[in-house]
Amino acid sequence: MGAEENRYAFNSNTFDMDGVEIPFKDGQTIMDAALAAGIYIPHLCHHPGLTPHGSCKLCMVDIGNKCMSSCTTPAVAGQQVSNNTPVLNEARKTITQLLFIEGNHLCPSCEKTGNCTLQAMAYFLGMLDGHFPQFFQRREVDASHLTVMLDRDRCILCELCVRASREVDGKNVFAIAGRGVTAHLVVNSPSGKLADSDLETSDMAAHICPVGAILIKEHGYEIPIGRRTFDLHQVGEIGLEKVIQAKARHTNE
Amino acid sequence: MSKLRIATTSLAGCFGCHMSFLDMDERLVEFLEHVEFDRSPLNDIKNCGPCDIGLVEGGLCNGDNVHVLREFRANCRVLIAVGACAINGGVPAMRNHFDLSACLEESYLNGIGVENPQIPYDAELPLLLDKVHPIHEVVRVDYYLPGCPPSPEEFMSVLGDLLEGREPVLPKKLLHYD
Ligand code: SF4
Ligand code: SF4
Ligand code: FES
């Protein structure tokens, strides 16, 4: 037995990703183990601490020539995983393009621009255009709530707000309804309007949206260009969630 | 070395991409030693002739836009979609949320301060398209220069690559959509 194999014999709870040995705890996903080891796997719908969702597919990695979502796949000792490869990053770019053309992502007029994780992902992957024909969908804007508004045109159905509301806020404000391309975010209130829900700006759900779909009213364009999250950071930095969440909260909400 | 010929146009654009191009400032002087302009809003040439590079700002909002875009595609070796509008329709594509007739009625019949309300119909006027479209939905596009507008550095980077006969590669640090 060579030294190479020996290593696994001594420490069985590691897997190999792009040639780096990554330790994991039993039951941990590839995503969580990689993040804990300080290695970035592109992701949009994953958020540490929330139940994995597996909808964005940005986090797919190659495991023995099989493409798997690393946010939902448990790590297995000795696994060979590829993550940062040109082929995977090209596929991730295509997925990002699909997210852009499926909604109305007119960044020049979006309040989230510069602070948007989807946009930062597109920069990270070098996306120049949407490539596919635009859907130009029309989805309902809900501006009924006093302090929070919902622009469904930009929603990427990541369910972060759904999960944050259920799992952290202990409410159940959001859900996804509809099928296929008509799937959309709904509000669980009798009228279906945000105003009639118990959403508050102190909720995690009000701030977790990675795009400009859930916005806090009367707080537009407050951060100067050059100081926005992704003017200062790139999406691949580990532990950026804290920075993003801190920035999303306004002093006088 | 013979100069590269560049044509530029603004379709459903705001001329902001042209202004950003001019924001190359004094670097334009050196640039002009290597290029000459074919049809462009910056000169008086009425039709696009054979060119090396065509820069198109703006999406497609009317019949004339489509006509001009086809002329550019037929004549330009490398066609570049410049700015958010040419790439995905941009902010003008927000009108795609509404029926064209509703837009026209709001502007020319029911809008505040409208006098002598009537929707313009002279044959001289190009008809509006039902929806605003990105230019790649009508012609093949060779390269995209994102931004609303792209920075002068982006123009320099991409045109610099083309001047030196390289495939353009926009450095990621210059990439922005806003
Ligand atoms: S949500 Fe993000 S990607 Fe979409 S328009 Fe806003 S800034 Fe652009
Ligand atoms: S509103 Fe935002 S957080 Fe909620 S599903 Fe849509 S994109 Fe995700
Ligand atoms: S992060 Fe894994 S599918 Fe979205």
d(CA A8, CA A78): 7
Helical pair A86-102 and A117-124, crossing angle rounded to 10 deg: 140
pLDDT of A182: 92
d(CA A252, CA A147): 12
Contact B178 A113 (CB under 8 A): yes
| Predicted confidence (pLDDT) per residue in B18-37, tens digit | 999 999 999 999 999 999 99
Average pLDDT along chain A: 93
d(CA A161, CA B105): 39
| Predicted confidence (pLDDT) per residue in A109-162, tens digit | 999 999 999 999 999 999 999 999 999 989 999 999 999 999 999 999 999 999
pLDDT of A251: 63
Residue nearest to atom 4 of ligand 1 (CA): A105
pLDDT of A150: 98
Chain A environment of B176 (Cβ under 8 Å):
123
What is the pTM for the complete model shown? 0.95
The distance in angstroms from the start CA to the end CA of chain B is: 36
Looking at residue B11, the DSSP 8-state letter turns out to be: S
Average pLDDT along chain B: 96
Q: Is the distance from the beta carbon of residue A41 to the nearest atom of ligand 3 less than 6 Å?
A: no
Please name the residues between 106 and 165 in chain A that touch chain B, using a CB distance below 8 Å: 106-110, 113-114, 119, 122-124, 126, 128-131, 133-134, 136, 138
Looking at residue A222, the DSSP 8-state letter turns out to be: -
Q: Where are the alpha helices (DSSP H) in chain B?
A: 16-22, 27-31, 63-75, 83-88, 100-105, 152-163
Q: Are A137 and B96 in contact (CB under 8 A)?
A: no
Please give the structure tokens belonging to residue B11.
């379709």
Q: How confident is the model at residue A11 (pLDDT cuts 50, 70, 90)?
A: low
**Alpha-carbon B144 to chain mean position:** 11
Q: Is the distance from the beta carbon of residue A44 to the nearest atom of ligand 2 less than 6 Å?
A: no
For residue B124, CA distances in Å to A9, B46, B63, B121 come to 81, 17, 11, 8
- DSSP for A10-47? H--SEEEETTEEEE--TT-BHHHHHHHTT-----SS--
Which residues have CB under 8 Å from A185's CB, separation 6+? A150, A152, A155, A157, A161, A162, A174, A175, A176, A177, A213
Q: Is the distance from the beta carbon of residue A158 to the nearest atom of ligand 2 less than 6 Å?
A: yes
Nearest by Cα to A207 from A157, A252, A241, A156: A241
Contact B91 A133 (CB under 8 A): no
Cα angle at A91 between A89 and A93, to 5 degrees?
Answer: 70
ipTM of this complex: 0.95
Q: What is the rounded average pLDDT of the residues A233-253?
A: 83
- DSSP H or E stretch at residue A91: helix A86-102
Please give the structure tokens belonging to residue A39.
């290695």
* pLDDT at residue A219 tops 70: yes
Nearest by Cα to A17 from A39, A43, A48, A45: A39
d(CA B88, CA A106): 8
| Predicted confidence (pLDDT) per residue in A39-63, tens digit | 999 999 999 999 999 999 999 999 9
Residues in chain A: 253
Which residues have CB under 8 Å from B131's CB, separation 6+? A136, B93, B95, B96, B100
d(CA A56, CA A3): 39
Measured in angstroms, how far is the CA atom of residue A105 from the centroid of ligand 1? 5
Identify whether B134 is preceded by a cis peptide bond (ω within 30 of 0): no
